[in-house]
Amino acid sequence: MLPRLEYIKQARIRLGITQRKLAALTGVSTSMINQIESGRCKPSYDTARKIFEILGSLEGRTSMKAGDICSRRLISVQRDEKLHKAIDVMRDNSISQIPVFDSSRVVGILTEDGLAKVMVEKEEEDLKNMHVAQVMEPPPPIVDVSTPAKALIPLVRFAKCILVSEKGNVIGIVTITDTLKMVE
């Protein structure tokens, strides 16, 4: 079963292609595309299927990826840093979670929630002497830059943030706020 013919024009416009371009890609005349979109003509099943296949493949290529929505200004701390310095970095940059590295390898994450738990349990004097490694939580998920952005939504809701890598190197972070870029 194919989608409704009205979706052809909507998809074409969303993809930013002209009727002429769609006609060239599908082997159908520009006039025929125009008539289908205006409702003056009903294409054969095979023609409609071909148009929807082309539109579907174009949508697959143009859909947003993790690399498109991630924040590439990755702020991080090292596991052996003093906790109070990490808190200063988080406060100065207005961030609620910060990846923790051991050299260039992700080893954990420091979150506001995790810090709040430690603050309740420890004395203020103990906090001043603590290192990030003593407070960090397990690392967040890491996905490749080519991962479809839509696949990140359930993951980021669960994990609060996702790190994005390219060729094995972490290059960015995706938070719930970053997923809103898909709506723009």
| The predicted structure's pLDDT at residue 11 | 85
CA distance 169 to 31: 49
Confidence at residue 143, expressed as pLDDT on a 0 to 100 scale: 93
The per-residue pLDDT for 51 is: 93
At residue 20, the pLDDT reads 95
- pLDDT at position 183 over 90: no
Would you state the pLDDT for residue 135? Answer: 93
Q: Is pLDDT larger for residue 56 or for residue 140?
A: 140
- pLDDT, average across residues 17-34: 94
State pLDDT tens for residues 80-104. 999 999 999 999 999 999 999 999 8
Mean pLDDT across the chain: 89
Task: Identify the band that residue 13 occupies on the pLDDT scale cut at 50, 70 and 90.
Answer: confident
Q: Which CATH architecture has domain 66-182?
A: Roll (3.10)
Q: Which of 129, 88, 78, 138 is nearest to 108 (CA)?
A: 138
What is the per-residue pLDDT across 163-181, written as a single tens digit (0 to 9) for each? 999 998 999 999 988 888 8
| pLDDT number for residue 150 | 79
- Report pLDDT digits (tens) over 31-62: 999 999 999 999 999 999 999 889 888 876 65
Class of domain 6-62: mainly alpha
In the chain, where are the structural domains located?
6-62, 66-182
Predicted pLDDT at 128: 77
- Look at residue 134 in the predicted model and tell me its pLDDT: 93
Closest by alpha carbon to 149, among 183, 121, 123?
183
